[in-house]
């Protein structure tokens, strides 16, 4: 499943209604490391489609949700399960390291 | 098992990509192990991926954005047949030829890649302050990437630690967002180039705290201030800031090569005078990983070119170069 694009207005409902864990990628156009991990996240989403959804939230267009979760650095990845935030990953990382950090939820 | 490569290039900053362009044009079909995504400078493309305006790389009258320059170098290397992979080397074996390079699990018997010659261009990464509190505030006010995170500090008071060109560049960039940027420097004068100093001094949002070092970071959930110590009087004070960017210097990315290659006390690889040859025949070093003096994109590119030529000549001397290039060695 391709990554879902979230906005300030759709975020809460998407997170609450998802039966799978949702990994939200807080990113922006000007952020080089964000662009580098985008394809890595797509790969992870494709390989773990049964347990995980990847969602993108552009902090430039939609700053409110980032503020709510005190996102002050991008990329930040927040993992939500049953509507609750269960994991926070700050900074770009390689695929192996991301999978390792997410392993208990996959 | 994968075929043995003529040349493997470890790292993909200006040095690695220039070496890739030259070795690719010499029909050596280089493999470039680019590294993995990161929010530090230790990433594909290297240090320039976290900068904005590059104004001193020749050929760009109006300057060029760091990531654009690296994207162009990468595309140029790919155009001539370099194979670029987003992989991070975890171990090397230079004890026998072909040399072995591991990606992922370093304990497997067989290396992931093998190559007749290796060019090391793993670069350098920024040093952090070395404070325990850093891990706690990373992503909560403390940042390794000004271009990524400046946006989050609109209207804030923030600090940049350091006195070199990188520190001035970050301070100037961040002044577009923050209300005040305090440059904290342990000396009473800057190391930065004159043009960068002038720009920083002229900028009304930038203030200077001289002769000061950061002793601790304070705050509950997010950064609220920095505990500073005056290096002369020993007096401490708290500077209220909600953001902090550190640009106090670099260390070479040479942990992989400890005990395998000669390096100086700072960990920089040592090369034979006037060449890029390391103490292991067939292993070459280019760019910041072997340079604690100049550390410029253009010097990295220059030594990357040297390493490519050195590697090609070395392969030729081993009788290993493709026949068609041995006949036209001057076509650089």
Model confidence pLDDT, tens digit, residues A4-31: 899 999 999 999 999 999 999 999 999 9
Hunting for tokens 């040095």 — which residue is that?
A: B15
Contacts of A97 in chain B (CB under 8 A): 36
User: For residue A3, what pLDDT is reported?
Assistant: 81
Residue A72, chain B, CB below 8 Å: the answer is yes
Q: Is residue B1 over pLDDT 80? A: no
Rounded to whole angstroms, the Cα distance separating A66 from B149 reads 12
Q: Tell me: the pLDDT tens digits for A96-105? A: 999 999 999 9
User: For residue A1, what pLDDT is reported?
Assistant: 61
Query: What is the number of alpha carbons within 13 Å of residue B21 lying toward its C-beta?
Result: 19
Q: Is residue B323 over pLDDT 70? A: no
User: For residue A106, what pLDDT is reported?
Assistant: 86
What's the alpha-carbon Rg for chain A, to the nearest Å? 12
CA distance to partner chain A, nearest, from residue B212 (Å): 26
The reply to whether residue A91 touches residue B45, judged by beta carbons under 8 angstroms, is: no
The ipTM of this complex is 0.89
Average pLDDT over residues B102-131: 96
Task: Tell me the percentage of chain B whose pLDDT exceeds 70.
Answer: 96
Has A30 been annotated as catalytic?
A: no
Contacts of A33 in chain B (CB under 8 A): 37-39, 43, 49-50, 145, 148
Has A88 been annotated as catalytic?
A: no
Residue A44, chain B, CB below 8 Å: the answer is no
Q: Is residue B326 over pLDDT 60? A: no
The nearest alpha carbon in chain A to B245 belongs to: A73
User: For residue B330, what pLDDT is reported?
Assistant: 42
Would you say A31 and B148 are in contact if contact means Cβ atoms under 8 Å apart? Answer: yes
Contacts of A25 in chain B (CB under 8 A): none
Residues 6+ apart with CB under 8 A from A24: A6, A11, A15, A55, A56, A57, A77, A78, A79, A80
User: For residue B325, what pLDDT is reported?
Assistant: 46
Q: Is residue A91 over pLDDT 90? A: yes
Residues 6+ apart with CB under 8 A from B68: none
User: For residue B11, what pLDDT is reported?
Assistant: 98
Q: Exposed e or buried b for every residue in B28-64, given b needs 16+ CB within 10 A?
A: bbbbbbbbbbbbbbbbbbbbbbbbbebeebeeeeeeb
The reply to whether residue B38 touches residue A94, judged by beta carbons under 8 angstroms, is: yes
Which of B36, B37, B140 to mutate: most A Cβ within 10 Å?
B37
Rounded to whole angstroms, the Cα distance separating B53 from A72 reads 23
Which of A31, A34, A36 to mutate: most B Cβ within 10 Å?
A36
Closest to B15 in 3D by CA, of B294, B325, B286, B312: B286
Q: Is residue B54 over pLDDT 80? A: yes
Rounded to whole angstroms, the Cα distance separating B310 from B28 reads 13
Average pLDDT over residues B282-291: 98
Closest to B118 in 3D by CA, of B307, B303, B255, B298: B307
Residue A34, chain B, CB below 8 Å: the answer is yes
Backbone angles phi, psi at B51, to 5 degrees: -110, 170
Q: Tell me: the pLDDT tens digits for B245-275? A: 999 999 999 999 999 999 999 999 999 999 9
Would you say B121 and B9 are in contact if contact means Cβ atoms under 8 Å apart? Answer: yes
User: For residue B322, what pLDDT is reported?
Assistant: 59
Q: Tell me: the pLDDT tens digits for B180-235? A: 999 999 999 999 999 999 999 999 999 999 999 999 999 998 999 999 999 999 99
Question: What length is written for chain B?
Answer: 332
């Amino acid at each position: 499943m391709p990554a879902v694009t979230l906005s300030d207005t759709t975020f809460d409902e998407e997170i609450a209604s998802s039966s799978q864990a949702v990994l939200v990628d807080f990113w922006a156009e000007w952020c080089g490391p964000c662009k580098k991990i985008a394809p890595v996240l797509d790969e992870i989403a494709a390989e773990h489609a049964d347990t995980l959804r990847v969602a993108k939230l552009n902090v430039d267009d939609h700053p409110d949700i980032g503020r709510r979760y005190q996102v002050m650095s991008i990329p930040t990845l927040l993992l939500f399960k049953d509507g609750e935030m269960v994991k926070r990953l700050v900074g770009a990382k390689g695929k192996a390291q991301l999978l390792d950090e997410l392993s208990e939820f996959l | 098992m994968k075929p043995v490569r003529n040349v493997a290039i470890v790292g993909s900053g200006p040095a690695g990509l220039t070496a890739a362009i030259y070795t690719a044009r010499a029909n050596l079909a280089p493999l470039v192990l680019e590294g993995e995504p990161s929010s530090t400078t230790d990433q594909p493309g290297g240090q320039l991926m976290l900068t904005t305006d590059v104004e001193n790389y020749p050929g760009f009258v109006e300057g060029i954005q760091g990531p654009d320059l690296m994207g162009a170098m990468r595309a140029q290397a790919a155009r001539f047949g370099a194979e670029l992979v987003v992989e991070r080397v975890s171990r090397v074996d230079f004890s026998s030829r072909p040399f072995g390079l591991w990606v992922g699990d370093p304990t497997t018997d067989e290396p992931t890649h093998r190559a007749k010659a290796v060019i090391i261009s793993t670069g350098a990464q920024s040093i952090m302050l070395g404070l325990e509190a850093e891990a706690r505030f990373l992503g909560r006010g403390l940042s390794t990437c000004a271009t990524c995170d400046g946006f989050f500090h609109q209207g804030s008071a923030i600090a940049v630690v350091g006195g070199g060109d990188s520190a001035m560049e970050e301070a100037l960039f961040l002044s577009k967002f923050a209300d005040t940027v305090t440059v904290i420097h342990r000396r009473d004068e800057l190391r930065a180039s004159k043009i960068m100093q002038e720009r920083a001094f002229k900028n009304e949002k930038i203030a200077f705290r001289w002769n000061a070092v950061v002793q601790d970071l304070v705050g509950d959930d997010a950064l609220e201030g920095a505990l500073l110590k005056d290096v002369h009087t020993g007096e401490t004070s708290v500077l209220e800031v909600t953001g902090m960017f550190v640009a106090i210097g670099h260390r070479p990315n040479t942990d992989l090569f400890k005990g395998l290659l000669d390096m100086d006390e700072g960990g920089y690889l040592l090369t034979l005078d006037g060449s890029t040859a390391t103490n292991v025949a067939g292993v070459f070093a280019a760019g910041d990983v072997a340079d604690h003096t100049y550390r410029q994109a253009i010097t990295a590119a220059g030594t990357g070119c040297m390493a490519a030529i050195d590697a090609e000549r070395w392969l030729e001397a081993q009788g290993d170069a493709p026949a068609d290039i041995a006949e036209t060695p001057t076509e650089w």
